[in-house]
Structure 1
């Protein structure tokens, strides 16, 4: 059986996930959750997302999608297309392949995802990189844990979605 394909992202109310090569908020609990979900599994991400992180993440196999056939990254697998990236990931991952961005990668895989693990952030920042809309006709919310704002950290919720049959 094929591994599940699950998107993981932090997204603002207005759909923004990135601005100027960065995430427009800092939520330490989101990074801890990302680590807990993805450690021991395979990540698929675009080159810009990989560049923003700056290194392979420990304890995970990372497949980077890039149209630049000359690009190489230390400690990662490289694929020129989404299909090839997913094939590489599935060859190495028996359980869950995590789609970790950015915007182009989410858009290209959205109709193939089995689930979503989102951090829904109660902000509306400026930003050009967006997550596709979570259509309630397609996605069913299966879990939600809301957290209020504290200090510089905005209110947010950890939300799990499954694709409707």
Structure 2
């Protein structure tokens, strides 16, 4: 073997060793990255998941609103709503917010007292006594440790219900035994397909009300 051949062979060996070292380093980095990703995922999995719930009242046709308003006023249903949502988090659309403000008239403090309120809107940036977010999923970014045990109630309208049905654990549905010519409807077919009826409470009156609780199917 000539000197030139020996030098070429030595150079090839050095290159091969350098490539192998680089490959080993890349493999070690991939293993470390995978390990870190697994640790992060484990931390996420172990974090307590916030509870979401839908609460709505519908007539016998599944309608919940007419011309941007709730077309009825049943004190028993409002007591049910307040009892479930008090001291919790409530999320609503702009039209629902405006309907609540209209019903309450002039007020001070929160839109709904004793509740942390959020309004989902793509156009608004701020509202009195409520935090504006772009989507239901953005709400959690505005909550802190004091809200850990609170349920996030999705109270309407259509967009909030549509986003919420995929993540809600529970649905509280008041059924009004009457027809109110609504123009906004709750997706009851989706509810019955993905949730099981858990409890029913009957309230005798005119009209009759049924307070139903649905749990997501496992």
Question: Whose RCO is larger (CA < 8 A, sep 6+)?
Answer: 1
Same fold (TM over 0.5): yes
* CA deviation map 1:17-72 (0-9, x unaligned): 000121122210110111111111100111110010016100000011011144x2
Greater strand share, structure number: 1
Residue 52 and residue 162 in structure 1: after superposition, are their counterparts in 2 closer, same or farther (change >3 A)? same
**Is residue 2:159 matched to residue 1:112?**
no
Residue 20 and residue 137 in structure 1: after superposition, are their counterparts in 2 closer, same or farther (change >3 A)? closer
Partner of 1:125: 180
Give unmatched runs, 5+ long, in structure 1. Answer: none
Q: Report if aligned partners of 1:146, 1:158 keep a CA contact under 8 Å in 2.
A: yes
**Is residue 2:213 matched to residue 1:160?**
yes
Residue 131 and residue 90 in structure 1: after superposition, are their counterparts in 2 closer, same or farther (change >3 A)? farther
Give unmatched runs, 5+ long, in structure 2. Answer: 1-47, 102-109
Partner of 1:49: 96
Greater helix share, structure number: 2
Q: Report if aligned partners of 1:63, 1:88 keep a CA contact under 8 Å in 2.
A: no
* Stretch moving more, 36-45 or 85-94: 85-94
TM-score (norm 1): 0.89
Residue 38 and residue 31 in structure 1: after superposition, are their counterparts in 2 closer, same or farther (change >3 A)? same
* Stretch moving more, 132-141 or 1-10: 132-141
Residue 100 and residue 89 in structure 1: after superposition, are their counterparts in 2 closer, same or farther (change >3 A)? farther
State the Cα distance separating 1:141 from its structure 2 match: 1.1
Q: Report if aligned partners of 1:44, 1:101 keep a CA contact under 8 Å in 2.
A: yes
* RMSD over equivalenced CA pairs, Å: 1.8
1:9 partner SS: strand
Count of residues paired in the alignment? 161
Q: Mark the structure with the bigger radius of gyration.
A: 2
**Is residue 2:183 matched to residue 1:136?**
no
Residue 23 and residue 140 in structure 1: after superposition, are their counterparts in 2 closer, same or farther (change >3 A)? same
Residue 90 and residue 117 in structure 1: after superposition, are their counterparts in 2 closer, same or farther (change >3 A)? farther
1:111 partner SS: coil
* Structure-2 separation of matches of 1:65 and 1:90: 19
**Is residue 2:86 matched to residue 1:39?**
yes
